[in-house]
Structure 1
Amino acid sequence: MPDLGKREEKKNKRYKSIVTTAEKLFLSAGLDHVQMQDIADAEQIGIATLFRYFPKKDRLLVAVAVNNLEAHIQSFTDIAYNQETAFIRLEKVLDLLTVESSGTLSQAAAFREAFESYASFAQEPLDTIDEYIATQEKIAELVMKIIEDGKKDGSFRQNIPIKEAIIATINSYGTFGSNITLKSSITFLEEDIAPHKQQQMLKEMLLTYLRP
């Protein structure tokens, strides 16, 4: 009788491999244009095997999106529980969301922007979308810790609604970075300011507003 532990390990390895392969295909060809058969071919498995892991394409999309977010949870955790001031921790959160001109962070941001647009235009909520929302909530809890610590240590302006200001800062900064990353190939002209430099400028504007 096969070792159940090894069988489970092999199954988990295949699951992760499918998710990684799917993300690469979605990024290169677009969420709408990649078919389940394309993913099965890239993984060198039968379509029936792929459907055993993910009965619907939407489930695979959500799995990729969850994996995309979870890859950064530990970094958020390390920042949230750092002993520095809340202001410095917020700055580090923005650094984490800063999209460089190349690298995996740019790809992660591009996928999230594409996925959330896809999900928002879906006629019905995506199957298992609750898993993605739950992962977002984990990050939101870490941000709330920074906000609460900032109320105590006085490292943010005290004459503004701190919670609303910081959430707006993180959302607008992250969305801007994802947006320019996704669209840079069709809107970025040679004479423009590089996308990652635009985001750095926005970061300074937002932090200036929040400084005491």
Structure 2
Amino acid sequence: MEWGWSDAHEALDFVLEPSGMTFGELSSQGQIPAKKLFGDYGSKGFDTPSGKVELYSEQLEEWGFDPLPTYRSPLRADDDYPLLVTSWKVGPFVHSGNREVQALRRLHPHPMALVNEKTARTYGIHSGEPMVIETRKGRMVHIARLNASVSPGVVIAEHGWWFPERAPLDGWDESNFNVLTSRDRPYAREMGSSQLRGLPCRISPLDR
């Protein structure tokens, strides 16, 4: 498994641990009724020092962070990985959901990656053919689609792909954007999260 669990059920048990249930117990029960935990800002305000929506965060400033959103690009393309890959989703699917719905898969049967025609020519990529997208962490395969709106030097690949028509876990990492990402530094200063987009990458035809 991608993050060290022995199988998918063990990973789901870990996610459900705070609820006191295992995946097997949840499967047999079907659902867990949830309490309504939203909308109380109307009576007591938001969980900010002022109780209001704060575009300028004095709390972040007090902690030593930028009080306003600031663009930073900690990872840059280089000679080995000269392109940047980011992710996008398509209408029929919600994250990794609905790939098993045949009517939706007929609308969009394969994972797609958008590249500029200039970028495609440089790396021998042809529209409609499979290409490899590789970062320092891992690699995946998507079908190339040329798109003039994509900036040269950028690859836009769909996320959330798996293949429910195959055996369980068969090909889970074949077109999975997660295999391109890393838990290594640099992390976001404010939250400690890993960088999920704008990853240095390289591309090639699948048969190269």
TM-score, normalization: structure 2?
Answer: 0.27
Q: Which has the higher helix share?
A: 1
Q: Which has the larger radius of gyration?
A: 2
TM-score, normalization: structure 1?
Answer: 0.26
Q: Which has the higher strand share?
A: 2
